[in-house]
Amino acid sequence: MSASLEKGVRVLKEVIDAPIASYFNSCVHCGLCAEACLFYTETGDPKYTPIHKLEPMRRLYEQEYTALGRLKKLVGLSKAVTDAELAEWQELVYNSCTLCGRCSVVCPVGNDIVYMIRKFREGMSASGNAPEGIKGAANRTIKIGSPMGVKLPAVRAQMRHVEEDFGLPIPMDAEGAEYLVMLSSMEIMNFPEYLGAIAKIMHQAGKTWTLCSTAFEATNAGMQIGNSDLARVIVSRIVEGAEKLKVKTVISPECGHAYTALRWEGANLMGRPFGFKVRHIIEVLGEFQEQGLLKTEGFETDRLTFHDPCQLARRGGVIKQQRNLMNMVAKNFVEMPDAGFMNWCCGGGGGASAIEEGEELRMEAFKKKKSQFDTVKPDRVVTACANCRIVMEEGLEHYKMNLPVVGLTEMIADHLPNPVVTKPEGN
């Protein structure tokens, strides 16, 4: 057994818990999870059946944690997990799984399959079987500070542009602000409108907020790759920043996995509960709307639909807020089939969009999203995740569909009256 395989097996043995044991023992091979997975429905290849993606981990569980399995191993009746097998499984555990969690909610015996995939990735990563693309993103986040290699000067440059365009100050390292606003590299590089939108919204709501110079990047490739040590380093930057600035709430940007990493995995990675709250920007906007702090003007009149990011809706429980917000600014909002809790993934979540060799398969899987669009024929698609947005833009381009994708936060901000310009004090 190679050293890396040994490490992977050790890590897998550590992450196997009672839920996983219960899940493996409950599977009856009914195959219903396949019907919930866009990588199966769009390719028809049974190897993409979600529970099958866990086969090496299931065998290891049986061999290590059941009396019968140990006996079978002793007398040579069971097949050991090998390097070659794990290498073969890379495609199944990463390229063809976006951690969207649809399989978990259809399984009749209640197996949370995506919970198991997340844990399996810990072993895959430890044994050196994670894809180069996500590994690179994780390493850049650790070394440089962001998966796309964005550094603080780039953020400062964006801040200056936004301050000039909107005439609103963008606070940095403001101690005692109520909200710490996190960004994703995608928003810094590709969708700078987001920062301007935040400035406008906070201004109108009369809330204090800040960016943090030591923690501006919210995405967590460490979690996607399945390396809790890296994930912890990335999360701890944000925790330290939030504690240093004494903020009440940290706002996750329009990025599904950043939200999961901070909101649900963060405290567990740190090993202690947070002294601050974590909210997705859509939850914060929902609160502002309820409190009457968002006073929008006018409506979008073209046909709009909303793509639910999996980590926000099915895996995160935020489903109503985005719909209330849409209805506040859109006259012609139509839902796609399966919208909300059962929505279909864009095909690029969970780090999949960073895997170059997975692109062809991703485009196949995107046919599911395409068919949803074809059903409702929207003029534009609104979403709340920069990664969904870029993945859908790629897919739409591939299928030559002329369908703009926009972020919900910016759309809301567009309907706020322009602020009375107060020149930002020189910085």
Partner 1 sequence: MSELQFLTWVRGPGLDLAIGIFLMGVLWRLFEIYSLGRKKDLAEPRSVAGASGMSTVFRRSIPPAGMLKNSPVTYVAGYVFHVGLAIIVFFFAPHIKFFQSLLGVSWPGFPSQLIDFVAVLTIIAMLVLLFDRITKPVKRYLSTFQDWFTWALTFLPVLTGWMAVQHLLLPYTTMLALHILTVELLLIFLPFTKLFHAFTVFGSRWYSGAVNGHKGVAV
Kindly state whether residue 106 participates in binding partner 1, applying the rule CB under 8 A: yes
Say if CB 48 and CB 34 are below 8 A apart.
yes
Name the minimum Å distance from CB 29 to partner 1: 4
Kindly state whether residue 108 participates in binding partner 1, applying the rule CB under 8 A: yes
Q: What is the largest CA-CA distance in the chain?
A: 79
Q: How many helices (H) and strands (E) does the chain have?
A: 22, 7
Tokens of 112: 């949370």
Name the minimum Å distance from CB 255 to partner 1: 17
Q: Taking CB under 8 A as the rule, which mask of x and - marks residues 5-34 in contact with partner 1? A: -----------xxxxxxxx-xxxxxxxx-x
Distance CA 217, CA 235 (A): 10
Cα angle 55, 136, 98 (rounded to 5 degrees) comes to 40
Kindly state whether residue 348 participates in binding partner 1, applying the rule CB under 8 A: no
Distance CA 285, CA 248 (A): 16
Q: Taking CB under 8 A as the rule, which mask of x and - marks residues 257-296 in contact with partner 1? A: ------xxxxxx-xxxxx--xx------------------
Count residues binding partner 1 (CB under 8 A): 59
| Total residue length of the chain | 427
Kindly state whether residue 399 participates in binding partner 1, applying the rule CB under 8 A: no
Q: Cβ closer to partner 1: 16 or 381?
A: 16
Kindly state whether residue 104 participates in binding partner 1, applying the rule CB under 8 A: yes
Distance CA 179, CA 171 (A): 11
Q: Cβ closer to partner 1: 282 or 405?
A: 282
Q: Taking CB under 8 A as the rule, which mask of x and - marks residues 211-250 in contact with partner 1? A: ----------------------------------------
Q: Taking CB under 8 A as the rule, which mask of x and - marks residues 65-84 in contact with partner 1? A: xxxx----------------
Segment lying near partner 1 (by CB under 8 A), choices 38-46, 158-166, 186-194, 243-251: 38-46
Kindly state whether residue 376 participates in binding partner 1, applying the rule CB under 8 A: no
Kindly state whether residue 105 participates in binding partner 1, applying the rule CB under 8 A: yes
* Rg (alpha carbons) of the chain, rounded to whole number: 22
Name the minimum Å distance from CB 335 to partner 1: 13
Say if CB 211 and CB 171 are below 8 A apart.
yes
* Three-state secondary structure call for residue 397: helix
Rule CB under 8 A: choose which of 35, 287, 335, 393 binds partner 1: 35
Distance CA 58, CA 81 (A): 10
Cα angle 324, 329, 333 (rounded to 5 degrees) comes to 70
Kindly state whether residue 39 participates in binding partner 1, applying the rule CB under 8 A: no
Say if CB 7 and CB 127 are below 8 A apart.
yes
257-278 as b/e, with b when 16 or more CB fall inside 10 Å? bbbbbbbebbeebeeeebebeb
With both helix axes pointing from N to C terminus, report the angle between 3-15 and 83-90 in degrees, rounded to the nearest 10: 70
Q: Taking CB under 8 A as the rule, which mask of x and - marks residues 299-328 in contact with partner 1? A: ---------------xxxx-----------
Q: Cβ closer to partner 1: 196 or 316?
A: 316
Distance CA 396, CA 10 (A): 42
Kindly state whether residue 47 participates in binding partner 1, applying the rule CB under 8 A: yes
Name the minimum Å distance from CB 419 to partner 1: 33
Which residues from 129-188 bind partner 1, rule CB under 8 A?
none
Element containing residue 328 per DSSP (H, E): helix 320-329
What is the binding site for partner 1 (CB under 8 A)?
16-23, 25-32, 34-36, 40, 44, 46-47, 49, 51-52, 65-68, 104-112, 115, 263-268, 270-274, 277-278, 314-317, 338, 342
